Amino acid sequence: MTKKSIKSDKNQRFSALTLLKSSHTAYAESPDKADLETFDNLYADRDYIITFDCPEFTSLCPVTGQPDFGAITIRYVPDKKCVESKSLKLYLFAFRNHNSFHEEVVNTILDKVVAVCKPRKAEVVGIFRPRGGIAIHVKAIHGDKINE
């Protein structure tokens, strides 16, 4: 199928995007119960970088249950599939009531992105606000480093 025919057949191209088309938003109880949807990459013949900046990320400390606040940045070079942004928002929202260390959060997000869209390269960076006087920055990488 050519790019032109794929672009013109929206019903087929977007048929798997259930969250974006829904008028009702359902929030998953945890990240493992949240869906992350994809759509076809029309430009799979070239490398380009997609960046998602999520400055209002929250999760819970697994020991104290206290909220942790941070920013998550996801960058990837797509192959055949791209991550749909509304499903990503809902996926990240599922961490809000989820107990997890920062290192686990970042690696869990990377694993999910890699599993659903199989990018050529990907990285997830978490910059977490200080608690107890220490800020934590975590970066996980799939494939080679992404250069700009």
Residue 118 above 70 pLDDT? yes
Query: Who's near 115: CB < 8 A, 6+ residues apart?
Result: none
Q: Tell me the Cα Rg of the chain.
A: 16
Hey, what CATH topology would domain 3-142 get?
A: GTP Cyclohydrolase I, domain 2 (3.30.1130)
Q: Among the options 68, 79, 117, 144, which is catalytic?
A: 68
- Give the confidence band of 83 by pLDDT, cuts at 50, 70, 90: very high
Greatest alpha-carbon span in the chain: 56
pLDDT tens-digit series, residues 35-72? 999 999 999 999 999 999 999 999 999 999 999 999 99
Q: Are the beta carbons of 113 and 119 closer than 8 angstroms?
A: yes
What's the whole-model pTM score?
A: 0.86
Is 68 a residue of the active site? yes
- Give the confidence band of 17 by pLDDT, cuts at 50, 70, 90: low
Sketch the domain layout of the chain as residue ranges: 3-142
Q: Among the options 35, 40, 54, 61, which is catalytic?
A: 61
Is 61 a residue of the active site? yes
Please choose, from the candidates 92, 87, 76, 90, the residue with its C-alpha nearest in 3D space to the C-alpha of residue 41: 76
**DSSP per position, 26-80:** PPPSSGGG----EEE-TTTTS---EEEEEEEEEEE-TTT--EEEEEEEEEEE-SS
Burial 117-134 (b: 16+ CB within 10 A, else e): bebebbbbbbbbeeeeee
Residue 33 above 70 pLDDT? yes
pLDDT tens-digit series, residues 84-101? 999 999 999 999 999 999
